[in-house]
Amino acid sequence: MIPAKPLKLVVPRSESVKDEAVQILVNHLGLTKTAFFIRENLSSQTDYLEMKQELFGNKTVADLYNEIQSVG
């Protein structure tokens, strides 16, 4: 058996990820659609973690999966 190599976790800078994401959007959607997307989706003052807690509470991914499976 070949021993597993330890993974080196590289955490990118938040700003560089944002820059890359915007560039990808501009390349694929164009400037106008990208600006619209950012305005509609990324400029809100919504606290994601607060919204997540309100929507899902302490449910795990497995809980949500099972809940979805029981509905469908």
> Could you tell me the pTM of the whole model?
0.47
Distances (CA, A) of 66 to 13, 55, 58, 70: 35, 16, 14, 6
Record the tokens describing residue 13, joined without a space. 């800078």
Rounded CA-CA distance 32/29 in Å is 8
Residue type for position 24: I
Q: What is the pLDDT along the chain (72 residues), one digit of tens a residue?
A: 677 777 788 888 888 888 999 999 999 999 999 999 888 887 777 777 888 888 899 999 999 899 889 986
How many C-beta neighbours within 10 Å does residue 43 have?
A: 8
How do the domains of the chain map onto residue ranges? 14-71
